[in-house]
Structure 1
Amino acid sequence: MDDPEQSGTHLAVVAESLYLANLLVAPGIAFAALLWLWHKHKASAPPLARQHLRQATFVSVIGGILIVCLSGVVVAFGGLTQPWTWVAVITYFVCVHGALVLFGMFGLAKAMAGQPWRYPLIGPRL
């Protein structure tokens, strides 16, 4: 059996776990840790770990932009006092955030299995 350190499985699992922690438990702190991990290992990590690090980091950035910017656009056009604005923002946030969490769980499962993973639609190419 392959050594998890050599194959990159351990680092891939850590990357995907930090991605999920950023969404669910410690936003910002887990993102900073993920960025630090990417910066430290982007050139030296085994291919599997590098791929998961790249995916998790890239999708964290794009996901944050999707959630913050598009919610801001809806609020800017709808105004803070309109009830439909808040219905749209909350619905959008729950749907996008839920999809990102679901994809993160798939990514973590793939990392634990030692397999590559590409986040649908917004993930960079493998």
Structure 2
Amino acid sequence: MNTPERTADAPSDVPGFGTAVAAESLYLANLMVAPGLAFAALLVLWFKHRHSAPPLARCHLRQTIAGTLWGGALLVLVNAAIILMGGYDAPHTWVLVILYFTTCHSTLILFGAIGFAKAMSAKPYVYPLIGPRNDD
């Protein structure tokens, strides 16, 4: 069985490919699987590579950190709104929770999925609305 040979154009040969994919993976894991733990790992990755990483990795690291901070801020805002509008026993609490998850949380996941696909193809990506612009 013949296996195709890797070419120099393979995405995994691009400098920063592994770090970019890891950053996007940790961003998605933070939103869906292991909140907090994945965020801590993403912060470690960011502190380790933020100055020395190639442009591709720096781009994805900046986007995932910004997206994670926006997600945390939105979560705090929703909880503050719930508390200000009568607490967790109020009947409209579930309306706010469902609105948050169907709009904000799912949008953050969509941005992460697109970012992950771009990282896997070794392309830079800026999250719409929430992503900082790259100077690279």
**TM-score (norm: length of structure 2):** 0.85
**Is 1:36 the equivalent of 2:44?**
yes
Correspondence 1:67-86 to 2 at 5 A:
67=75, 69-79=76-86, 80-86=88-94
Partner AA of 1:111 in structure 2: A
Structure 1 or 2: larger helix share? 1
Q: For residues 18 and 100 of structure 1, do their structure 2 counterparts lie closer, same or farther at Cα, with a shift above 3 Å needed?
A: same
| Unaligned segments of structure 2, at least 5 residues | 1-7
Cα-to-partner distance string for 1:21-57 (whole Å, 9 max, x where unaligned): 0001100000000000000001111110011011101
RMSD: 1.5
State the partner residue of 1:52: 60
State the partner residue of 1:101: 109
Q: For residues 46 and 2 of structure 1, do their structure 2 counterparts lie closer, same or farther at Cα, with a shift above 3 Å needed?
A: farther
- Number of matched pairs: 125
Structure 1 CA distance for aligned equivalents of residues 31 and 74 of structure 2: 13
Moved over 6 A (4+): none
Deviation at 1:6, TM superposition (A): 5.1
Partner AA of 2:83 in structure 1: A
**TM-score (norm: length of structure 1):** 0.91
Structure 2 CA distance for aligned equivalents of residues 56 and 6 of structure 1: 19
Identity of aligned residues (%): 55
Structure 1 CA distance for aligned equivalents of residues 36 and 55 of structure 2: 26
